[in-house]
Chains A and B, each alone.
Chain A
């Protein structure tokens, strides 16, 4: 269990946008095991002792997303509602707690809210999440909330109040990051063909890991598959794309075995895509700016409220079709296959991107990278149109020196 703490503390920093100085991770065995900043651990212990769960993650993202959120929230707001559909499917609303509502001596409000929800946003502290089964689950819930928060704030810059100079300044590292395109590191996947069993597993593992390293998905979400003969290799449900070894199921087209019951919840969608397009490989990630821009809709007098599952239109973003649909047996499997054939890429409203390839993972991975790079540029362009002062404008265009 100690090893689990170390592993996920490392991941929090590498993939979760957290900072070593402002994070704590705790787990309950027959006693509490812990790792992280002493101050947060004191609070963490006080909370975890009172909860019937396994793990607790506390981390303040190094980008000041929480400060930005609290600066924008009305003082009465007691929760935020995630806009991205994956988080919305699994986490519902996310409670927020103000500085004056708790202390390490009096964590009752935190305990109460964490007794109701898998995670909360705490002013001055960060994101706090629990795991009812493992340390990993606490980390997964953290990643979901981080993702939801990121999307919420960056979309709000475009749709709500324009960002202030102060906000632009505080997120400077992000704007710098966006100026540099995601590198097209796909060459080592070339020729990693889909021939022998071992080669296929290897190619999937590399492509999966790369997708995570390039931040095109939070490791636990997203999925990957390829079709060989009349069988499909597909990542398992809840498998980390950067740790696919031993987590790939082989599913026969004729359903002659049900051992693939553990396959990704998007197995149905992948199958339908193969049937309707003749593709041989599929990669699905949640690149942040593709997701954010997919949520921007110009429609004014539309009567649909739950756009993310009910919108029937096929819109377009950077030349790529956008459709709406729920996770799993809900809608993606119906909506994506008819539109993905033409461009080999499709965006699911508020959720992520599916991309196909005909003989390896080069084209799917490259498609995700290129689309995300296009969306980053487009986002910056739109944001430039929103900022009111010239200093903001200069900061947004600035390259890191």
Chain B
């Protein structure tokens, strides 16, 4: 079998037992790996409480990992989110994924709860649990440093240990398994870190075909201005979007009360370049290298992070934005959720935080001290506890990233149809609504958007299962990645087939959520976006979203998904019909 190892490492932290299970080929071919495989592996446990001892936390790589496929040295981590209550997956780069595959595993499934802090050390021989009492409480860099002899590291920081609901799992190279609080799930298990080392190499089934597909992809990257253009993400990282979002008047400002922040040039791509002369950095095996870090190797913030610690909190001080990012990385905490929660707090109090107030409060959140012991719950619970639930800018409890939905109607829909809550990456309509890839769509129109979102969700579920990076798709498409996959595995995968796999994954997630009590009522934007306009100007009108058109397009979406008008599955046996 090319492409997969067919092996899963099972770990029970309660008993301390570790064993290897084999993964059936049919299952791997039907779910690929990453998100799809992880979601499938949760079929018997999706209903468990995210902090229940038995809930599994799955790390899964994909069939392209371990090959020279561009941007494919990634993995997905899957469990149920304590922040949203939905099924949850997040994709991350770094060497960890590649080493896990090199150790001979497609996935690791961790369940149970240890009675004392542990490190799971994985090698080709299997796994071993090591005591980690002295690492508990340590920030990420110190933890990674302490484990440096053991290969690649994935660890939680104080935020995950303290079950901050948006605690991350951090990869040793600085990549985050972010957003939904899977770090807290790991913390509840008292698992401080996982190390992995291995040296197994993989052949692809058809080398010439693989090389051709790889060349095609590289050519498309070079033809894509967003990727390799003079002003693209390889040069400036994702903060290249700061200026664009300002120009399009859709940069969320002061907790989404406005959509333009006049001082965003203080933390734009060019401003960061001038202040830090960053070096190019990035995921292992990625030719794009969109991550940027300081000369000393400290990761610099992504677009969502600069914009949300900046505009959303009314802060223009680049140093304090970078410092906030560093604290979140060190504490193992999601920057988007943290920044939105701070902005919610600002609006609740009537004054937004000053630049110098960000850092101490972020530390307090990670350690759950003072006000931090309320803010650690995320914006939805915070706003609800303060009696103003409408002030949380979130969907299904997941804080919205830095694309105002009033400025891109596909994005407005996609925040709501996403199975993990208000996330921009599930359908990534920014690609066509803003970046004109593969073609431009009218961002102020709902026409045709439901279908576009549905197809993109299917496509991206596949990408998350390969596991490849979304940014590759500013240039390439499933046509080329299908070729890579066919050449790697020796099984034929064309785009249509791959999208049907993505559709299966999407529907499975939605079914889990439905069984856990989610209804169409949860597929809704915060009220603000239907009643308050954005910041119009310079010839761009940013009205509130038309509630009726939004509802009509959601109705269409449910129909296209084969769901009832209430957004439900017509038959209760959906899962039984899936492989």
Contacts and interface: CB of A to CB of B under 8 A. Distances in A.
B490 interface: no
Interface stretch (B116-124, B177-185, B361-369, B449-457): B449-457
B437 A237 contact: yes
Nearest to A118: B479
A52 B229 contact: no
A326 B219 contact: yes
B499 A52 contact: yes
Nearest to A261: B231
Interface in B227-257: 228-233, 236, 239-244, 246-247
B325 to A, nearest CB: 19
Interface in A238-274: 238-239, 247, 251, 255-265, 267-268, 271
Nearest to A138: B439
A255 B455 contact: no
A238 B479 contact: no
Interface stretch (A24-32, A342-350, A372-380): A24-32
Max count, chain B CB within 10 A of own CB: residue among A1, A4, A29:
A29
Contact of A329 (B222, B268, B455, B503): B222
B452 A267 contact: no
A140 B439 contact: yes
A89 interface: yes
Interface string B470-507: 00000001010010000000000011110110010000
A136 interface: yes
Contacts of A255: 230-231, 270
A328 B448 contact: no
B441 A271 contact: no
B229 A263 contact: yes
B439 A137 contact: yes
A92 B215 CA distance: 11
A267 B269 CA distance: 18
Nearest to A250: B247
A54 B451 contact: yes
B438 interface: yes
B270 A256 contact: yes
B556 A30 contact: yes
Nearest to B228: A329
Contacts of B435: 261-262
A54 B560 contact: no
A265 B448 contact: no
Interface in A109-161: 111-112, 114-118, 131-134, 136-137, 140
A327 interface: yes
A258 B496 contact: no
A191 to B, nearest CB: 27
A237 B437 CA distance: 8
A110 to B, nearest CB: 12
B432 interface: yes
B20 interface: no
Interface in A251-302: 251, 255-265, 267-268, 271
Contact of A330 (B223, B448, B559, B560): B223
A51 interface: yes
B229 A268 contact: yes
Interface residues on A, range: 35 or more
Interface in B421-450: 432, 434-441, 447-448, 450
Contacts of B402: none
Given A115-B494, A116-B495, A261-B244, A134 B226 contact: no
Nearest to B500: A52
A262 B556 contact: no
A261 B441 contact: no
A236 interface: yes
Contacts of B13: none
Contact of A328 (B224, B236, B243, B499): B224
Interface string B531-565: 00000000000000000000000001001100000
Contacts of A239: 436, 440
A259 B451 contact: no
Contact of B452 (A54, A92, A115, A257): A54
B458 interface: yes
B6 interface: no
B222 A330 contact: yes
A53 interface: yes
B391 interface: no
Nearest to B229: A267
B452 A133 contact: yes
B541 to A, nearest CB: 13
B248 to A, nearest CB: 9
A330 B241 CA distance: 23
Contact of B229 (A53, A132, A261): A261
A237 B452 contact: no
A271 B231 CA distance: 12
Contacts of B243: 257-259, 261
B334 to A, nearest CB: 25
A132 B438 contact: yes
A248 to B, nearest CB: 13
Given A52-B455, A134-B441, A267 B223 contact: no
A256 B230 CA distance: 12
B479 A329 contact: no
A259 B225 contact: no
A208 to B, nearest CB: 16
A115 B497 contact: yes
A89 B482 CA distance: 17
A160 B226 CA distance: 40
Contacts of A115: 494-497
B445 to A, nearest CB: 10
A310 to B, nearest CB: 12
A328 B270 contact: no
A265 B441 contact: no
Contact of A238 (B220, B229, B436, B503): B436
Contact of A258 (B242, B438, B482, B500): B242
A51 B219 contact: no
Interface in A293-338: 326-330
B216 interface: yes
A328 B229 CA distance: 7
Contacts of A134: 432, 439, 441, 448, 452
Contacts of B216: 92
A237 B220 CA distance: 14
A196 B239 CA distance: 31
Given A90-B223, A115-B496, 10 more contacts: A1-B447, A29-B447, A29-B450, A53-B455, A54-B448, A133-B455, A236-B436, A259-B244, A261-B229, A261-B241
28 contacts: A29-B450, A89-B220, A90-B220, A90-B223, A115-B497, A132-B438, A133-B432, A133-B438, A134-B432, A134-B448, A236-B436, A237-B225, A237-B226, A238-B439, A238-B440, A239-B436, A239-B440, A251-B231, A258-B240, A258-B242, A258-B243, A258-B268, A258-B270, A261-B225, A261-B229, A267-B230, A327-B222, A328-B224
Q: Which 6 A-B pairs have the closest CB atoms?
A: A115-B496, A328-B223, A116-B494, A329-B228, A30-B556, A259-B243
Interface of B: 216, 219-220, 222-226, 228-233, 236, 239-244, 246-247, 265, 268-270, 432, 434-441, 447-448, 450-452, 455, 458-459, 477, 479, 482, 494-497, 499-500, 503, 556, 559-560
